[in-house]
Chain A
């Protein structure tokens, strides 16, 4: 286990917000393809949160909520906001969404507390791998 530099954290507690992206839209009919994973199995973090976690664009991070845990890649070009981890709607966001429906039939997709940590050596699962662990 490597040491964490001064001012850096192994793990941050952020707020998960799901979102729509153009990349998600243009790959909507290719969900079993690598292109979809590259566009949707991603997240956006603020530069300061990336600095705190010692991650750069293209690195993988693990996002964990009460709903589950998933590895996603930090993507460049999205609007990162301090304190938020943004994930496009799709199977990777669904891996950490919760069953709390608040009187509707809609699972919890925004405003969830999420632990975010570096995931060196871990790759983003593809859709079939995610499905494989859906059955307990």
Chain B
């Protein structure tokens, strides 16, 4: 099958070719090393739902045991847990289809739940900054055809988005960049010389936690103002060279990652970068894009926004959407003890929450809907397996630049598994049944 879309990162490469035999993928072409492994899927996999029987020992998850359940039994159990919760939280929605996310938002409205996606673990601060400053952005196609200067700041696509440079930004020929790599200047700004820096024309090393100061100094240079030498360890000559290179370019494109959003300053770092882009726009065409990680976290933000007005961390408990990052994200409501039932779909927050906060997940009911048994499943009361979207079921995902891509399904569902879209839909119907009312049609 040709034109298969890789369900791993925000690049959503849509030129993958796979060969199949007996509902197995035997060969993958064009994918990066990680994409190749994603299509191979785990060989040992749960195919039936499981319900936890707790031992009473909160400290030892291994003392509990699970029993296999039917889909109906597991949905009833999950619906009962969600229905009786006072502060249910529905989290994840970033490694699945946009159709599933819409079902999840319907369920959140039905429950009056707090609904959040993986942005609160990655580019939530970027969204906060975009809402403050605004963003001058572009599609990856525009970057490919026009950009003669590409800057990666606090991002290492060589490890996280392997084909970003080869497919979209640096190496390919563009309509106005016929020589490809030779027509572009590439700059990497990071705390360490990453794999991406190896292919750059210039690497500028910043101290950890000094991105805000460095960006502000660069803004002053772009504005023609004097700045002291050095800035947080960065020689002034390097920043002056970068300022001159950017201003003399015809189209400069910035890409930034968690190096800005998870270090000291958070959204203030991104605020400074977006402001730099605004300053550069006085001199040249300048755009900036966040390097979104999960393959459809962009779609989650799109769907959340068109359904509630806000891109993540949305609290529907008052009957209307409320959004206050830092208060209505998963981590704050979990660590404050507010959350009394957690549904996780297509995500693994237990692998990324501070370890000390995971005790909260042992004290509340947790429901996991995911193709694989992950770290959060270890703490789940109900686990419902589903298909891999983009491999075993179709769906729509949004690339990191906001372009929607239809995902194909080269394989059929193994063992009668359903897509998570269908499971979440049935879960909402079951919640409505328990409340003895017809499910509301929101869409």
Which of A's residues lie within 8 Å of B, judged by CB?
Answer: 15, 17-22, 24-32, 67-68, 70, 79, 81, 84, 86, 89-91, 94-95, 97-99, 101-111, 127-128, 130-136
Determine if A106 and B351 form an interchain contact, defined as CB atoms under 8 angstroms apart.
no
> Hey, which chain A residues are within 8 Å of B60, CB to CB?
132
Q: Which of B38, B61, B258, B266 has a CB less than 8 Å from the CB of A102?
A: B266
Q: Which of A89, A102, A111 has a CB less than 8 Å from the CB of B352?
A: A89
Determine if A101 and B331 form an interchain contact, defined as CB atoms under 8 angstroms apart.
yes
Task: Say yes or no for B264: interface residue by CB 8 A criterion.
Answer: yes
> Hey, which chain B residues are within 8 Å of A28, CB to CB?
34, 38
Determine if A29 and B41 form an interchain contact, defined as CB atoms under 8 angstroms apart.
yes
Closest Cβ–Cβ distance, residue A66 to chain B (whole Å):
11
Stretch of B47-55, B76-84, B120-128 with 4 or more beta carbons under 8 angstroms from chain A: B120-128
> Hey, which chain B residues are within 8 Å of A135, CB to CB?
58-59, 358-359, 362
- Interface residue total, chain B, C-beta cutoff 8 A: 69
CA distance A25 to B7 in the complex (A): 12
Determine if A18 and B262 form an interchain contact, defined as CB atoms under 8 angstroms apart.
yes
Chain B: CB-nearest residue to A136:
B359
Chain A: CB-nearest residue to B363:
A135
Task: Say yes or no for B160: interface residue by CB 8 A criterion.
Answer: yes
Task: Say yes or no for B318: interface residue by CB 8 A criterion.
Answer: no
Determine if B355 and A95 form an interchain contact, defined as CB atoms under 8 angstroms apart.
yes
CA distance A43 to B34 in the complex (A): 20
Q: Which of B120, B313, B358 has a CB less than 8 Å from the CB of A131?
A: B358
CA distance A84 to B37 in the complex (A): 30
- Residue among B116, B120, B262 with max Cβ neighbours from chain A (10 Å): B262
Scan residues 205-219 of chain B and give those whose CB is less than 8 A from a CB of chain A: 208-209
> Hey, which chain B residues are within 8 Å of A27, CB to CB?
37
Determine if A81 and B355 form an interchain contact, defined as CB atoms under 8 angstroms apart.
no
Task: Say yes or no for B138: interface residue by CB 8 A criterion.
Answer: no
Closest Cβ–Cβ distance, residue B103 to chain A (whole Å):
23
Task: Say yes or no for B33: interface residue by CB 8 A criterion.
Answer: yes
> Hey, which chain B residues are within 8 Å of A90, CB to CB?
351-352
Which of B's residues lie within 8 Å of A, judged by CB?
Answer: 8, 33-34, 36-38, 41-42, 58-62, 116, 120-122, 124-125, 128, 156, 159-160, 162, 191-195, 208-209, 258-259, 261-267, 313, 325-332, 335, 348, 350-359, 362, 371-375, 378-379
CA distance A86 to B353 in the complex (A): 18
Give 4 A-B pairs besides A22-B159, A31-B348, A79-B193 with Cβ atoms closer than 8 angstroms: A29-B42, A67-B356, A103-B326, A134-B359
Q: Which of B159, B208, B335, B362 has a CB less than 8 Å from the CB of A134?
A: B362
Determine if B352 and A94 form an interchain contact, defined as CB atoms under 8 angstroms apart.
yes
Determine if A32 and B34 form an interchain contact, defined as CB atoms under 8 angstroms apart.
no
Determine if B354 and A104 form an interchain contact, defined as CB atoms under 8 angstroms apart.
no
Closest Cβ–Cβ distance, residue A110 to chain B (whole Å):
4
- Residue among A24, A67, A99 with max Cβ neighbours from chain B (10 Å): A99
Determine if B378 and A17 form an interchain contact, defined as CB atoms under 8 angstroms apart.
no
Q: Which of A81, A91, A101, A109 has a CB less than 8 Å from the CB of B326?
A: A101
Closest Cβ–Cβ distance, residue B142 to chain A (whole Å):
26
> Hey, which chain B residues are within 8 Å of A136, CB to CB?
356, 359
- Can you list 13 A-B pairs with a CB-CB distance of less than 8 A? A17-B208, A25-B8, A29-B41, A94-B353, A95-B355, A101-B326, A103-B326, A104-B125, A105-B120, A105-B332, A107-B353, A107-B354, A128-B378
